[in-house]
Structure 1
Amino acid sequence: MPPGVYPGLEFGGPHGDYYSDVDLVKSGQKVLSINLRTSERVDAVILTIVDSAGEESTLHHGGGGGALKTPLALAEGEYITTMEAHSGKHKGHTRIKYIKFSTNKKNFIEGGTPTKNIGTDVAKDGYQLGGFYGRSGDELDQVRALWSSIKPVVPKTY
């Protein structure tokens, strides 16, 4: 993991293709917005970030089905600090059926169908959602947050 980035808890199942934002997530980056594609299940998560050099990237994981939600645009000083994911079976595979992202300003975006298999991951103080890794195909099969330091972390040199 890059300095100032740590992996969160894993939710969902072992199906779909592996994806990872590890090479893109850096401490000190800014999240501009988050969006979802959902219907009965979670089709995709979409995160737009800007790195410390001002380069914008859109991280899209999952498929193109479901309805595109209205994006949650983050205000200055607003950070995504909580991810709640519900999983369940679909055609014999464990999938993410519902997901909710909440900010330190109590705003949120959610979609899908809640289940009783609920997992919640909360960032450590001074950290925010910076990206993801997990597994996906046409839908989100597995999701894990990459939490990044809000302030830039400079690696120590000896």
Structure 2
Amino acid sequence: MSDLAGGPHGTPFTDVERVVAGAEPRTLSLRAGARLDQVAMGHTDGGRVSHGGTGGTERTLTLEAGEHLVSATLSTGRRDGRTRVFHAEFTTDRGRTLSGGTPTSDTVSFTAPEGWRVAGFHGRSGDEVDKLGVVYTPIP
């Protein structure tokens, strides 16, 4: 698992159990407006996990056969006295990206080790994503 970006608010979540069970990512969705409202991942087995609220506009990236999510860049900021994730950008090994929210100067990037991919999330959320990190798995 990667480190986390964001603040201590919201309810903790993790996709570790789903990832360990062999779930393969198929889609990545972000809901965002001024900040990151939700992250979601659909898997090849038809399951879907989501974290955060229902605000903002949803954008989805469908992975092509053999394509893998390999990095995440996250920006954080403060709203109503709480640190939250304001912007997220995910990149595949084919250079395709999905992003949403408002970038800030407080940015961190997480990159999967060689031969690994982003397969899930961990962090904290409520109506928005308060803290976010990624879960890596080996590429089969």
Q: Structure 2 counterpart of 1:68, which letter? A: E
- Give ranges in structure 1 of 5+ residues lacking alignment: 1-6, 152-158
Q: Percent identity?
A: 33
Bigger CA radius of gyration: 1
CA contact (8 A) 1:100 1:110 kept: yes
For 1:9 and 1:48, the matched residues in 2 are separated by 22
Shift of 1:39: 0.2
For 1:123 and 1:133, the matched residues in 2 are separated by 15
**TM-score normalized by structure 1?**
0.85
Q: Which of 24, 28, 39 does residue 33 from structure 2 map onto? A: 39
Matched, 1:79 2:79: no
Matched, 1:30 2:24: yes
Shift of 1:28: 5.3
Identify the residue that residue 68 of structure 1 maps to in structure 2: 58
Count the aligned residue pairs.
140
- Give ranges in structure 2 of 5+ residues lacking alignment: none
| Structure 1 outlier segments of 4+, above 2 Å | 26-30
Give the 3 Å change call, closer, same or farther, for CA 142–131 of structure 1 in structure 2.
same
Matched, 1:12 2:6: yes
For 1:132 and 1:109, the matched residues in 2 are separated by 15
For 2:46 and 2:88, the matched residues in 1 are separated by 24
RMSD, matched Cα: 1.1
Shift of 1:25: 0.5
